Amino acid sequence: MKKIFTLFSLALTSSLFAQTTIQNGNFELWENVGSASEEPTFYNSNQTGTDWATSGPQTCYRDATTFHGGAYSVRLETKSFVIAVVNGSLTTGIVNAPTTTKSDGYVGTIKGTSLTDIRRMAFVGRPDSLIGWYKYTQGGASENGKVRAILHKGNYYDPEAASGYHPDSSANKIGDALFLTPLSNVSSWTRFAIAFNYVSSNTPAYIMINATPSYNQNTSVAGSKIWLDDISVVYNQSSINEHSSNSNNANVYVNEKTVYVDLTTENSKQAQLFIYDLSGKLVSAHLLSNSKQSSVNVTELNSGLYLYQLIGAEIQKSGKIFIK
């Protein structure tokens, strides 16, 4: 499976929070840079799709000229091609184009019923909302863009309804959130926030994220563009659970802008404290002393709810803290 990298901080974030947050939602990590198939890590475009999808033009771009945060955003473009207009595409799954008929196309976690290429983003949370930032340029008066996140188990297909090329996947849906841009240009970075609609009480296993500047799959209009950045999910405070291994070996608590770590047994090896915002972004990292109690100044952090991970020789603990 593609999309392999070794960046320490993201790997650490993934090991703790990847299953409850969107990976690389800030689009700072890219692969195949400079080629037609450059894509954000963990995501795919038509250029790494199947069948006729790879015959189309490049529609996914790393944009260093405009972004909401960091150094890059992702830009998707709908383009004219020899045989049809090709919708811009970005997905955690696979862009499938089994024929040259646009209505036959779909996004799936696998190609049809094949099990040789499976692309899914692990996700076990039940967030309240999908949020992100976007800009949009219309290619025509009837055009608008789409960002859709589907929480599911097993494999999934979008559109869901069974066709001659994939089975009906609707039974695997846990919930989804759908954002559509307005039918107009949006020239400055604008925030969107869409609630998840749950159809099942089950816990998801994966999240599928699909984005395009042309919501109409069968559009014949080229020129639409959408820029996306800082896509994440939001939880109510009550939906964040604490997880601990050897939890009796440490206490983590906060007073104003200081985080205290109280180890019940003095460790011979140092421990590390990592603090993340609710999108899973690492915002503070500290190497603790060997002493029983350590204090960490976090005056650089805004007031709010954060997630933490404590790693030591005899302790692994994670949970939530509120910084005033």
Task: Please check the confidence at residue 1 and state whether its pLDDT lies above 70.
Answer: no
Alpha carbon of 19 to those of 16, 138, 183, 203, 288: distances in Å?
Answer: 8, 34, 34, 11, 27
For residues 129 and 9, which has the higher predicted lDDT (pLDDT)? 129
Would strands 94-97 and 50-51 be described as parallel, antiparallel, or unpaired? parallel
Residue 296 half-sphere exposure, CB side, CA atoms within 13 Å?
Answer: 24
Task: Please check the confidence at residue 292 and state whether its pLDDT lies above 80.
Answer: no
What phi and psi, each to the nearest 5 degrees, are found at residue 102?
A: -60, -35
Domain 8-237 maps to which CATH number in 3.90.228.20, 3.20.20.150, 3.40.50.1970, 2.60.120.260? Answer: 2.60.120.260
Where does the pLDDT of residue 249 fall: very low under 50, low under 70, confident under 90, or very high at 90 and above?
low
Residues 88-107: what's their mean pLDDT? 96
Render pLDDT for 293-303 as a digit per residue (tens, 0 to 9).
788 999 999 98
Render pLDDT for 181-196 as a digit per residue (tens, 0 to 9).
999 999 999 999 999 9
Question: What pLDDT, on the 0 to 100 scale, is given for residue 13?
Answer: 45
Q: Outline where the chain has alpha helix (H).
A: 8-17
Question: What pLDDT, on the 0 to 100 scale, is given for residue 25?
Answer: 94
171 Cβ contact partners less than 8 Å away, ≥ 6 residues apart: none
Task: Please check the confidence at residue 15 and state whether its pLDDT lies above 60.
Answer: no
Q: If we measure between CA atoms, which residue out of 204, 209, 198, 116 comes closest to residue 153?
A: 204
- What single-letter DSSP state applies at residue 46? G
Render pLDDT for 255-270 as a digit per residue (tens, 0 to 9).
889 998 887 655 545 6
Q: Where does CATH 2.60.120.260 sit in the chain?
A: 8-237
Hey, is 156 helix, strand or coil?
Answer: coil
Alpha carbon of 318 to those of 35, 182, 242: distances in Å?
Answer: 40, 40, 6
115 Cβ contact partners less than 8 Å away, ≥ 6 residues apart: none
Question: What pLDDT, on the 0 to 100 scale, is given for residue 171?
Answer: 96
Q: Which two tokens stand for residue 213?
A: 């500047």
Contact predicate 254/323, CB 8 Å: yes
Residues making up the chain, counted from first to last: 324
Angle at 66 between CA 60 and CA 67, to 5 degrees: 85
Q: If we measure between CA atoms, which residue out of 131, 148, 126 comes closest to residue 236?
A: 126
Q: What is the CATH number of domain 240-323?
A: 2.60.40.3080
Q: Outline where 98-234 has alpha helix (H).
A: none
Task: Please check the confidence at residue 237 and state whether its pLDDT lies above 60.
Answer: no
Question: What pLDDT, on the 0 to 100 scale, is given for residue 278?
Answer: 74
Task: Please check the confidence at residue 102 and state whether its pLDDT lies above 90.
Answer: yes
| Amino acid (1-letter code) at residue 5 | F
Contact predicate 25/69, CB 8 Å: no
Q: Where does CATH 2.60.40.3080 sit in the chain?
A: 240-323
Where does the pLDDT of residue 88 fall: very low under 50, low under 70, confident under 90, or very high at 90 and above?
very high
